[in-house]
A and B are shown apart, each in its own frame.
Chain A
Amino acid sequence: MTGSVTAKYREMRVNATDLFDLVLLALLLTCAIGIARLKDLAACAILFSAYSFILCLVWAHRGAPDVAMTEAAVGAGITTVLFLVVISRVGRREK
């Protein structure tokens, strides 16, 4: 079992596309940690929007334009607005 796993990694060449993916994934991770740590809900919502936008790039780069479009419009656009509307009604600090 382990043999096939290492073989899979040996196959993986680090080229420009992979590097692009890695950068995007690192950004995703940064956003996720930021969302978990922030206490300001409005900032969280904006960071969520950024997260979705990066994810949208990942989809587009992976050859799934249909998913990328939905992610951009729903994740980066509409959910952010809905979050912000709710935050404007309940206050922006986490208690």
Chain B
Amino acid sequence: MNRRRAGRILTAVLIAALAVPLMYGMVQLPAPGHADAPAHTNVSAGYIERGAELGGSENLVTGVLLNFRALDTFGEVLVIFTAWLAVAAVAGTASNAERDPVPPSPVVDYVIRLLGPFIAIFALFVIVNGHVLPGGGFQGGVLLGAMLILLSLVMDAETVARAVSARSWIWLRATGVLVFAMVAVMGLPLAGYLFGLPDEPGLRQVLTVALELGIGIGGGAVLAGLFFAIAGADRS
């Protein structure tokens, strides 16, 4: 008992020792939202001034993500795909014997089945409007994934997982990486640089939406895949 107490005191001291310099440093940072803070005057000011015009997206966040800092976003898409690879490479091919036999209540079942299509349409809306409204591929993809997971909860994870063949699931999960890589390479002839988007507004719009769709579909399929793999419904 005494040892446990000592351990707790030690933990508290360690946390305090970590927290005090952190807070001390944070307080001295330029205040967020302050007009003179470097975070708002330096690069951000440039984005706000000409970002919409040069980047081709009224939603500046999307402009920064898909155009100015496209390589970072490609990396993030790849991290998401790698996360699925990791889970798939590690997750046991365990049986479903211990699955909870209690079916969900009929009300939950009905409501989720009813909501499913609406969530899907909303997700698609969020994805394709990412360049003008808050949202985009990542947000819409997460909504798609959430819808698939919700459906698996009321139907059966395996039924949902089998709706698409195992082979197609893998291609769907890689959509984000593949579409992004293709658009990146197209930047070479169209904009003169890898990851560049063309200056011609129409074509740029098409490529932006293609990127958002790729990220959305890929992200949604990966999240659903994580769920299937952990729930033991991944028979592929």
Direct contact of A and B (CB under 8 A): yes
Q: In the complex, what's the smallest C-beta–C-beta distance from A67 to chain B, in angstroms?
A: 9
Q: In the complex, what's the smallest C-beta–C-beta distance from B28 to chain A, in angstroms?
A: 7
Question: A66, B227: Cβ atoms under 8 Å?
Answer: no
User: With A82-B227, A85-B231, A88-B100 in contact, is A66–B146 under 8 Å at CB?
Assistant: no
Choose among B27, B98, B139, B223 the residue that contacts A69 (Cβ–Cβ < 8 A).
B139
Roughly how many angstroms separate A70 CA and B59 CA in the complex, as a whole number? 16
Question: A66, B136: Cβ atoms under 8 Å?
Answer: yes
Q: Which residues of A contact B153 (CB under 8 A)?
A: 81
The reply to whether the CB of A78 lies closer than 8 angstroms to some CB of chain B is: yes
Question: A69, B31: Cβ atoms under 8 Å?
Answer: no
Q: Which residues of A contact B59 (CB under 8 A)?
A: 66
Q: In the complex, what's the smallest C-beta–C-beta distance from B7 to chain A, in angstroms?
A: 14
Which residues of chain A from 74 to 90 have a CB within 8 Å of any chain B CB? 74, 77-78, 81-82, 85-86, 88-89
Roughly how many angstroms separate A25 CA and B223 CA in the complex, as a whole number? 29
The reply to whether the CB of B179 lies closer than 8 angstroms to some CB of chain A is: no
Roughly how many angstroms separate A65 CA and B27 CA in the complex, as a whole number? 25
Question: B135, A66: Cβ atoms under 8 Å?
Answer: yes
The interface on chain A, measured as residues whose beta carbon lies within 8 A of the other chain's beta carbons, has a size of 18
Choose among B98, B146, B226 the residue that contacts A77 (Cβ–Cβ < 8 A).
B146
The reply to whether the CB of A14 lies closer than 8 angstroms to some CB of chain B is: no
The reply to whether the CB of B198 lies closer than 8 angstroms to some CB of chain A is: no
Question: A65, B134: Cβ atoms under 8 Å?
Answer: yes
Q: Which residues of A contact B230 (CB under 8 A)?
A: 82, 85-86, 89
The reply to whether the CB of A38 lies closer than 8 angstroms to some CB of chain B is: no
Nearest opposing residue in chain A for B153, CB measure: A81
The reply to whether the CB of A1 lies closer than 8 angstroms to some CB of chain B is: yes
Q: Which residues of A contact B231 (CB under 8 A)?
A: 85
The reply to whether the CB of B126 lies closer than 8 angstroms to some CB of chain A is: yes
9 A-B pairs (CB sep. < 8 Å): A1-B28, A65-B135, A66-B59, A66-B136, A66-B139, A73-B142, A78-B142, A89-B98, A89-B232
On B, residues with C-beta under 8 Å from A are: 27-28, 31, 59, 61, 94, 98, 100, 126, 134-136, 138-139, 142-143, 145-146, 149, 153, 223, 226-227, 230-232
Given contacts A78-B142, A85-B227, 8 further A-B contacts (CB under 8 A): A1-B28, A8-B31, A66-B61, A70-B139, A82-B230, A86-B230, A89-B230, A89-B232
